[in-house]
């Protein structure tokens, strides 16, 4: 049985993680061409995939974020958003190793809006990974059969 405190922590995790991704998706949905330009600057995927990613990725972020906030499909939504965070961390890391400083396109498609360091962005994404891990850990623990 989950304690009240643990349920409150999980609720906060769901609201923070879901809220961040809902917020992050809005500008990208409204400006897919600008988001495609940002994705292209990462130089990580073939050109023919850029526009598909620019259209689909924000909708995936929005849907999974809303599901987490609503408390439905929690495990799947946390897995999707945690997986996206790992991909974002890898993409930022690769470009950091290449010596590039790029607009991440995380929350806005406005050019020049990224003023922080690439390392800071990676740490921010790692911090956002914590709620996803806590949610998934809770889901895993409570799926195991109880042994008496």
Q: Which residues contact 135 (CB under 8 A, 6 or more apart)?
A: 10, 13, 14, 17, 68, 74, 75, 78
- At 57 the pLDDT is 96
Query: pLDDT under 50 in the chain at which residues?
Result: 146, 148
pLDDT value for 18: 98
Give yes or no for a contact between 43 and 50, defined as CB atoms under 8 angstroms apart: no
- 8 Å CB contact between 139 and 65: no
């Amino acid at each position: 049985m989950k304690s009240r405190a643990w349920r409150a922590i999980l609720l906060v995790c769901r609201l923070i993680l879901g809220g961040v991704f809902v917020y992050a998706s809005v500008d990208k949905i409204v400006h897919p061409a600008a988001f495609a330009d940002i994705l292209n600057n990462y130089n990580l995927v073939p050109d023919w995939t850029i526009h598909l990613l620019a259209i689909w990725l924000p909708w995936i972020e929005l849907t999974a974020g809303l599901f987490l906030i609503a408390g439905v499909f929690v495990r799947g939504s946390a897995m999707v958003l945690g997986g996206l965070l790992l991909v974002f961390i890898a993409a930022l890391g690769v470009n950091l190793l290449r010596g590039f400083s790029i607009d991440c396109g995380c929350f806005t498609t406005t050019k020049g809006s990224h003023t922080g360091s690439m390392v800071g962005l990676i740490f921010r994404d790692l911090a956002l990974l914590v709620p996803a891990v806590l949610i998934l850990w809770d889901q895993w623990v409570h799926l195991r059969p109880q042994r008496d």
